[in-house]
Amino acid sequence: MERLSTATFIPDTFLGARDDFSMQMGVIWSKIKAPLIVPLLRITVVLCLIMSVMLFIERLYMAIVIVLIKLFGRKPDKRYNWEPMKDDVELGNSAYPMVLVQIPMYNEREVYQLSIGAACGLSWPSDRIIIQVLDDSTDSTVKDMVELECQRWANKGINIKYEIRDNRNGYKAGALKEGMKRNYVKHCDYVAIFDADFQPESDFLWRTIPFLVHNPELALVQTRWKFVNSNECLMTRMQEMSLDYHFTVEQEVGSSTYAFFGFNGTAGVWRIAAINEAGGWKDRTTVEDMDLAVRASLKGWKFVYLGSIKVKNELPSTFKAYRYQQHRWSCGPANLFRKMVMEIIRNKKVSLWKKIHVIYSFFFVRKIIAHINAFVFYCIVLPATVLVPEVVVPKWGGIYIPSIITLLNAVGTPRSLHLLVFWILFENVMSLHRTKATIIGLLEASRVNEWIVTEKLGDALKTLTVAAKLPRKPRIRIGERIHLLELAVGCYLFFCGTYDFAFGKNYFYLFLYIQAMAFYIIGFGYVGTFVPNS
C-alpha cells in the first residue's frame, strides 16, 4: 500500500503556521542566546561555584574539628567543672537550686499527656521544682483535657501550674515571656524548656543542672533530640539524616570551639539571669530560640552542648506539617540575620573571631548560602547548561565537591548510608521551599512571621488508620495533594533531561530524569505518612 503523506491528514496552512512559529522561536533564541543567556548563565555558574566552595570549606572545617574532638577527648565535663549535686545536712533541700520546667503547647491533643507526664516524672527535690504548663490552646475541649491532666498530677503532690492567656500574641515566645512574669518564677534559678512532644528521662536535671551551678559563665545547656518515629516512613528517615548531622556535627563544633550555637527551642536548660540580661523572649521573628541565643552570646554568655543526653521527640510525618516547619526554620534565621547583623558587628563584648563565626559561618553559610545554592545550582543552573552547551561546569564543582559534601553530611547517621541517593533527591526538592522561605525572610516579605504549629500525631495514627478501613464515602481533595511549584520544576527538569537525551553526550539526563521524578512524587503528594480523614 502506498505510504500516505502527512499532508493528507494535516492542512498545509497548519504546517506552515507550525514551521513559522518554530522558525521564529529559533531566531529569537539565537538572537538572545549569545549576547544575553550565555554571559548571564556563566556569571550564575561562577557564583554557584563560589557558594559550593564556601559550603565545602565549612563542611571540611567542621569535619576536622570533630575528628580532633574525638582524638583529644574534649568532652564537656573536661572543658567545664562538673560534679554531681550533693546533699547538705545543714541546708537540706535549699542547697539545690530552684528549677522551673516550662511546657508551651497549642491544641496538643495527641501528645499533651506524654510531655506533662515526662516533666512530672523528672527526678529533683519536690519542693525545688515547678512544672509550668503554658497552654495557648484555642480548642476548649483540649484546654479542659490539659487542665484536668495538670490537676491529676497536682493531686499526686506535684507542684504544677496551669497557665493560660486570653490571646496568642507572640505565639511561643509570647507564652514563654508571659510565663516568666509569674511571681513564683522570681524564686527560680534555672528554666528547662520542653515542647509538647518531648519526653526527657527522669535524670535529665541531675545531668544538666550541675554544669550551670559550677560554671557561672554558662547560660545554656542544650541536649540532643532522639526521634521516636524515625522509622515511620522514608520522609522521617530523611529528616533523621539531616538533623543527626546538625546535632552530631554543627552543635558539637559550635560548643567546642566558640561556646556558641543556636538554641533548638527545646530540650535545653537556661540560666534565668542570662535570659533577663539578654532582654528576655522576643517575638520579632519565628525563631525566638535562636534570637535569644544570639543576644545572650553578645552579652558574653557561653553555651555547652551535651550530645550524650538524648530527649525523645517526634518528627513531622506528614508532608504538610514538614513543609510548614521548614518554612519557619528557613525564613526565621534569614529574617533574624537581617535584623541583627549590624548589632553583631557593633558589639564590643565578644571577640572578632566570634563575630565572624556568627555572621559568616552560623548565619550566612549555613542558613542562607546552603539553601539557595542547593536549589539554584542543582535544580536550575546545572540543568540549564544542557540547553546552553557553551557554558561548561567543571567536574570538581558539579560532581566532586557535591559528592564530598554529601558524604560528610552522612556521617551523622551511618545506618542510613544506603539511603544517600534518596536523601539527595529529597533535599533538592525541599531546597525549593527553603530558598523561597529564605528570600522571604531576607526581604521581610509576606508570610515572614507566619507561625503554624508543627502537627504531632503521637499514637493517633494507629487509631485513624483503623478507622480508615471502615466503609465510607470517599472524599477526593486534589488541592491538598497537588503542589504546583514542585510540578513546575519537575517539568523543567524533565524537559532538560529530554533535550540532553536527544542532543547531549554525557548521560546527564539520567540525573535529570530521576530528580524530575522526585519533584513529581512530592508534587502529587505521594510522600510522608498519609493521615486518613477521621
190: CB partners within 8 A, 6+ apart: 97, 98, 99, 100, 209, 212, 269, 270, 271, 272
Distance CA 421, CA 31 (A): 39
Which entry of 135, 136, 195, 197 is annotated as an active-site residue?
136
Q: Which of 472, 474, 488 is nearest to 432 (CA)?
A: 488
Q: Within 13 Å of residue 396, how many CA atoms lie on the same side as its CB?
A: 5
Distance CA 389, CA 220 (A): 53
Which entry of 135, 195, 283, 289 is annotated as an active-site residue?
289
Interhelix angle 319-346/420-443, nearest 10 degrees: 50
DSSP label of 414: G
Distance CA 154, CA 506 (A): 69
Strand, helix or coil for residue 270: strand
Q: Which pairing describes strands 129-135 and 190-193: parallel, antiparallel, or unpaired?
A: unpaired
| 289 belongs to the catalytic site | yes
Q: What is the 3-state secondary structure (H, E, C) of 311-322?
A: EEECCCCEHHHH
Distance CA 328, CA 370 (A): 16
The CA–CA distances, whole Å, from 57 to 64, 279, 315, 410 equal: 10, 35, 30, 16
Q: Which of 432, 429, 406, 421 is nearest to 526 (CA)?
A: 429
Q: Which of 304, 249, 317 is nearest to 271 (CA)?
A: 304
Helix, strand, coil fractions of the chain, as percent rounded to 5: 60, 10, 30
Interhelix angle 401-410/234-245, nearest 10 degrees: 90
Amino acid at 61: Y
Amino acid at 160: I
At 443, list the grid cell.
526581604
Amino acid at 393: V
DSSP label of 458: T
| 77 belongs to the catalytic site | no
13: CB partners within 8 A, 6+ apart: none
DSSP label of 106: S
434: CB partners within 8 A, 6+ apart: 326, 330, 371, 374, 375
Q: Which of 370, 358, 330 is nearest to 262 (CA)?
A: 358
- Give start and end residues of each alpha helix (H) in 299-419: 319-346, 352-356, 370-375, 382-387, 395, 401-410
Interior angle at CA 312, CA 67 and CA 412, nearest 5: 25
Rama region for 279: left / alpha / beta (φ>0; ψ in -120 to 50; rest): left
Active site residues: 136, 289
